[in-house]
């Protein structure tokens, strides 16, 4: 069964990247620290065909586009290998360059949702998220977050997020568990090596949301703010 939440390791020629991806109802939504991945899939008897477009959400030039262009389109076929899916294909913009990927399922524990989404609550969709640390702590995170009727799935090249929220009348609040899917302690000393619990609250409208949060990373309590921008409606 192809539907689910995955961590993804992909390779284009000699370049390697990582992301998270959700597949469901014929749609694929995910991304990493610099790009959102937005696409569709069709299932056949023994394989799945996908088409995914990349959209940059982080302007930092240190995050380079593997295809040499921010806007690229992937066409690939996938087959199951046990619990994994292996994909092969290519980018329209780079004919002749092989693309390969391995999609590994991320286990999702059932977390009860208290309250759900009411009138004027946050919109279901795929968002970019840019996190900034407070109180003089250096660092932050950028990634993507999928919000759907009170549930949170998201992540970036090293972390994945699972959580729940409630929202109505332009406000929202919730909780997130941030965990590594690829070791990152050297690259992100704030969150690397820890399972990080985050409680948050903030405001929202039809275009995005703001939040203030407190995170528990090991023995440290950290305050942060984040900006979410809607990239694709569900």
pLDDT tens-place string over residues 29-53: 999 999 999 999 999 989 999 999 9
Report pTM.
Answer: 0.93
pLDDT tens-place string over residues 147-202: 999 999 999 999 999 999 999 999 999 999 999 998 875 665 667 677 899 999 99
Please state, rounded to an integer, the average pLDDT across all residues of the chain: 92
pLDDT at position 213 over 80? yes
Query: Rounded to the nearest 10 degrees, how much is the dihedral formed by the CA atoms of 131, 134, 140, 146?
Result: -20
Confidence band of 217 (pLDDT split at 50, 70, 90): confident
Q: In percent, how much of the chain has pLDDT > 90?
A: 82
Quick one: average pLDDT of 93-98? 95
Cα three-residue angle 164-173-234, rounded to 5 degrees: 55
* Residue 111: per-residue pLDDT: 58
Quick one: average pLDDT of 60-78? 93
Question: What domains are defined for the chain?
Answer: 4-105 (2.40.128.380), 125-233 (2.40.128.380)
pLDDT at position 115 over 70? no
* Residue 112: per-residue pLDDT: 60
Quick one: average pLDDT of 117-124? 95
Q: Which of 130, 112, 93, 140 is nearest to 209 (CA)?
A: 130
Confidence band of 144 (pLDDT split at 50, 70, 90): very high
**Residue 68 burial by CB count (10 A; 0-12/13-18/19+): exposed, middle or buried?**
exposed
Query: How many whole angstroms separate alpha carbon 42 and alpha carbon 59?
Result: 32
Query: Rounded to the nearest 10 degrees, how much is the dihedral formed by the CA atoms of 27, 144, 62, 98?
Result: -20
* Residue 116: per-residue pLDDT: 83
- Distance, first Cα to last Cα, the chain: 21
- Poorest-pLDDT segment among 111-120, 184-193, 199-208: 184-193
């Amino acid at each position: 069964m192809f539907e689910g939440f995955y961590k993804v390791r992909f390779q284009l020629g000699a370049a390697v990247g990582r992301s998270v991806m959700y597949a469901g109802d014929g749609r694929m939504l995910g991304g990493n620290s610099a790009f959102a991945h937005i696409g569709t899939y069709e299932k056949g008897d023994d394989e799945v065909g996908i088409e995914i477009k990349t959209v940059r959400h982080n302007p930092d030039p240190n995050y380079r586009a593997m295809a040499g262009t921010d806007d690229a389109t992937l066409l690939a076929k996938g087959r199951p290998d046990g619990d994994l899916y292996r994909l092969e294909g290519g980018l329209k913009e780079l004919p002749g360059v092989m693309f390969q990927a391995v999609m590994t399922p991320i286990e999702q524990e059932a977390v009860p949702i208290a309250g759900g989404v009411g009138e004027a609550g946050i919109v279901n969709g795929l968002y970019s998220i840019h996190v900034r640390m407070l109180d003089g702590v250096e660092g932050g995170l950028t990634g993507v977050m999928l919000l759907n009727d009170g549930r949170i799935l998201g992540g970036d090249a090293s972390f994945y997020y699972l959580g729940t929220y409630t929202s109505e009348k332009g406000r929202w609040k919730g909780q997130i568990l941030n965990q590594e899917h690829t070791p990152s302690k050297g690259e992100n000393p704030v969150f690397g090596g820890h399972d990080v619990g985050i409680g948050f609250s903030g405001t929202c409208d039809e275009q995005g949301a703001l939040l203030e949060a407190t995170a528990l990373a090991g023995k440290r309590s950290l305050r942060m703010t984040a900006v979410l921008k809607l990239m694709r409606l569900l």
